């Protein structure tokens, strides 16, 4: 028997074109609705459309489009400072993980005025300003996780601030918002989703609830990721990937990722390798390395991947060929990583016990080095 819990957003609206229903989840109040987004999304016209919908429903809206990709801790404080004085009654986060993770911290900062450092030390214990999340990538699944991931300059890695109060009040999963996502970002985000699902499925924290979400999520991601990559206008594949991403987040909320994410953080923190890409590079090598510890789970994974219940032995090859087909580099050296960097990376990954302890097999520093060497 296992003890487990789960967290979920207050309400989820799913389907193509459902962003138009945003008025149903807006808060009344004496102030403005903050539409938080980034420059890339602003450039697609999505932010102007959503601002128009908010205004048309009789609310005042203020758009802030300066959230940087994969923000440093200081970036979030800077955004908060830039917005101090605005009377924000609700945050609508329109974007990928970077925007949604920033929204989570701002939501608390608007009510307590704390710095991100202080929130790192004392994770929020009370709800902040209400949030609506509209993911535009599929994705981090940040809309269904209690995590906010921020990069740390000095430590050259990433960390998570975790609080149940980071779950939004409402989520709109509208595949139309991912239509403009370039193939490269479709690939990276989709493989991040697959890592969430597969890591949580084998994690030491796995449980009946996360297993259910992970199995359905893997079916969706294995069947739809390459379709969405090759045919960005395929709204069924885009919708499947948004759902898979949401399930991946729900798995993180109930189980937890393991060595892939743990070993990926130094790559993101020091070499600024995009999150989905660093995970994708490590996906097959980590699974192959730990395969002897997940023999009982491989048949089910194979079944979800469309390989049939007897296809456990083919899972690693499928992962390898998918990552290749999706155009992800197979080595870290492309991003400037050299053998001399491995000491730091091994220490950093090994030290991330929050994630490494979830790995179904104990990985020593030597094991971690061997896996990094394989993809150097
Ligand atoms: N909170 C969590 O549980 C969680 C989980 C995994 C990862 N993360 C974090 O999320 C961040 C990565 O998020 P991400 O992968 O979603 O990418 P992102 O939010 O950093 O966005 C990447 C780029 O994609 C562009 N973009 C986004 N949507 C677009 C669209 N529809 N059309 C065109 N361009 C678009 C953005 O402008 C940006 O330039 C990392 O910091 C990572 O550590 C968080
Ligand atoms: Fe992730």
Probe target for ligand 1 pocket from 40, 42, 96, 233, with the most ligand atoms within 8 Å of CB = 96
Ligand 1 centre and the CA of 138: distance in Å? 8
Residue 123 and residue 225 share a domain = no
Same domain? 329 vs 227: yes
| Same domain assignment for residues 326 and 195 | yes
Q: Which of the four pLDDT bands, split at 50, 70 and 90, describes residue 130?
A: very high
Report if residue 1 sits inside a domain. Answer: no
Query: Per the confidence metrics, is the pTM higher than 0.95?
Result: yes
User: Final residue of a domain: which of 161, 178, 195?
Assistant: 178
Q: Which residue, by CA, sits nearest to atom 39 of ligand 1? A: 40
> Which pLDDT belongs to residue 157?
86
Ligand nearest, relative to CA of residue 193: 2
304-320 confidence digits (pLDDT tens): 999 999 999 999 999 99
pLDDT at 169: 98
For 119, the domain range is 11-178
Predicted pLDDT of residue 3 = 84
Whether residues 220 and 354 share a domain: the answer is yes
Judge whether 5 lies within some domain: no
Overall residue count recorded for the chain in this entry: 376
What are the start-end ranges of the H helices in 13-145?
Answer: 39-44, 46-56, 73-83, 97-112, 116-121
Share of the chain above pLDDT 90, in %: 96
CB within 5 A of ion ligand 2: which residues? 192
Instruction: Answer yes or no: is pLDDT of 248 > 80.
Output: yes
For 122, other C-beta atoms within 10 Å of its C-beta total 11
In a domain, 238, yes or no: yes
SS3 174: coil
Could you read off the pLDDT of 278-294 as tens digits, one per residue?
999 999 999 999 999 99
Are 105 and 218 within one domain? no
Pair of tokens at residue 336:
């400037």
CATH code at 290?
A: 1.20.1090.10
Residue 276 CA, ligand 1 centroid: distance in Å: 9
Beta bridge partners of 148: 161
Inside any domain, residue 228: yes
Q: Report whether residue 181 contacts ligand 1, using a CB cutoff of 6 Å.
A: yes
Q: Is 160 in a helix, a strand, or coil? A: strand
- Beta strands (DSSP E) in the chain are 11-14, 32-36, 61-64, 88-95, 131-135, 147-152, 157-162, 170-173
**Is residue 2 in a domain?**
no
Is 260 inside any structural domain?
Answer: yes
Q: What percentage of the chain exceeds 70 in pLDDT?
A: 100
Section 194-203 average pLDDT: 98
Tell me whether residue 110 is exposed, middle or buried, using C-beta atoms within 10 angstroms of its C-beta: 0 to 12, 13 to 18, 19 or more: buried
Inter-residue contact 228 to 194 (CB < 8 Å): no
Task: Evaluate: CB of 185 within 6 angstroms of ligand 1.
Answer: yes
3-state secondary structure 20-47: HHHHHHCCCCCCEEEEECCHHHHHHCHH
Q: Of 159, 178, 197, which closes a domain?
A: 178
Judged by its nearest atom, the ligand closest to the C-alpha of residue 70 is 1
Mean predicted confidence (pLDDT) in 263-277: 94
Question: What pLDDT does residue 144 have?
Answer: 98
**CATH number where 85 lies:** 3.40.50.1970
Residue nearest to atom 21 of ligand 1 (CA): 96
Average pLDDT over residues 181-190: 98
pLDDT in tens, 20-65: 999 999 999 999 999 999 999 999 999 999 999 999 999 999 999 9
Q: Is 224 in the pocket of ligand 1 (CB under 6 A)?
A: no
Residues 253 and 349 both lie in one domain: yes
Check pocket membership of 210 for ligand 1, CB cut-off 6 A: no
| pLDDT value at residue 6 | 86
Q: Is the pLDDT of residue 1 over 70?
A: no
Asked whether residue 275 is domain-assigned, the answer is yes
Q: What confidence score (pLDDT) does residue 5 get?
A: 85
Cβ of 264 closer than 6 Å to ligand 1, yes or no, is no
Closest CA to 258 of 338, 152, 371: 371
Q: Is the CB of 128 under 6 A from ligand 1?
A: no
* Residue 338: partners with Cβ closer than 8 Å, 6 or more residues away: none
Cα 265 to averaged position of ligand 2 atoms, centre (Å): 10
Q: Are 266 and 211 found together in one domain?
A: yes
Residue owning the nearest CA to atom 6 of ligand 1: 140
- Are the C-beta atoms of residues 330 and 230 closer than 8 Å to each other? no
C-beta of residue 131 within 8 angstroms of C-beta of residue 101: no
Q: Are residues 29 and 59 located together in one domain of the fold? A: yes
Closest to 181 measured CA to CA, from 193, 170, 163? 193
- How crowded is residue 339: how many other Cβ atoms within 10 Å of its Cβ? 11
- Give 325-360 pLDDT, tens digit per residue: 999 999 999 999 999 999 999 999 999 999 999 999
Which residue in 132, 130, 93 sits closest to 110, CA to CA? 130
Do residues 320 and 263 share a domain?
A: yes
Statement to judge: residues 168 and 192 lie in one domain: no
Residues 205 and 320 in one domain: yes
Select from 127, 149, 178 the last residue of a domain. 178
**Per the structure, how many domains does the chain have?**
2
């Amino acid at each position: 028997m296992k003890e487990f819990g789960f967290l979920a957003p207050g309400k989820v609206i799913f389907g193509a074109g459902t962003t138009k229903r945003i008025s149903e989840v807006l808060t009344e109040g004496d102030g403005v609705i903050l539409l938080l987004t980034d420059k890339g999304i602003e450039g697609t016209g999505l932010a102007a459309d959503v601002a128009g919908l908010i205004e048309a429903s009789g609310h005042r809206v203020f758009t802030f489009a300066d959230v940087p990709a994969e923000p440093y801790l200081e970036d979030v404080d800077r955004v908060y400072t830039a917005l101090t004085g605005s009377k924000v009654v609700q945050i609508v986060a329109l974007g990928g993980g970077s925007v949604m993770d920033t929204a989570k911290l701002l939501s608390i900062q608007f009510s307590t005025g704390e710095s991100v450092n202080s929130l790192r030390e004392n994770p929020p214990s009370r709800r902040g300003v209400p949030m609506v999340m509209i993911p535009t990538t599929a994705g981090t699944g940040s809309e269904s996780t209690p995590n906010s991931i921020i990069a740390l300059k000095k430590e050259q890695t990433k960390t998570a601030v975790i609080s149940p109060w980071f779950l939004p009040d409402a989520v709109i999963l509208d595949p139309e918002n991912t239509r403009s996502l370039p193939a490269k970002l479709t690939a990276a985000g989709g493989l991040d989703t697959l890592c969430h699902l597969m890591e949580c499925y084998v994690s030491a924290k796995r449980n009946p609830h996360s297993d259910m979400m992970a199995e359905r999520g893997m079916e969706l991601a294995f069947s739809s990721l390459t379709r969405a990559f090759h045919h960005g206008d395929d709204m069924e594949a885009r919708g499947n990937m948004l759902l898979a991403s949401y399930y991946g987040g729900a798995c993180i909320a109930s189980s937890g990722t393991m060595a892939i994410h743990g070993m990926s953080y130094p790559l993101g923190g020091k070499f600024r390798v995009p999150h989905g890409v660093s995970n994708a590079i490590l996906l097959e090598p980590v699974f192959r390395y730990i395969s002897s510890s997940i023999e009982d789970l491989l048949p089910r994974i194979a079944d979800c991947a469309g390989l049939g219940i007897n296809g456990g032995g083919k899972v690693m090859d499928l992962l390898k060929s998918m990552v290749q087909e999706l155009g992800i580099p197979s080595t870290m050296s492309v991003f400037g990583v050299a053998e001399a960097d491995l000491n730091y990376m091994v220490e950093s990954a090994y030290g991330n016990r929050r994630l490494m302890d979830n790995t179904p097999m104990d990985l020593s520093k030597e094991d971690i080095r061997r896996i990094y060497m394989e993809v150097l």
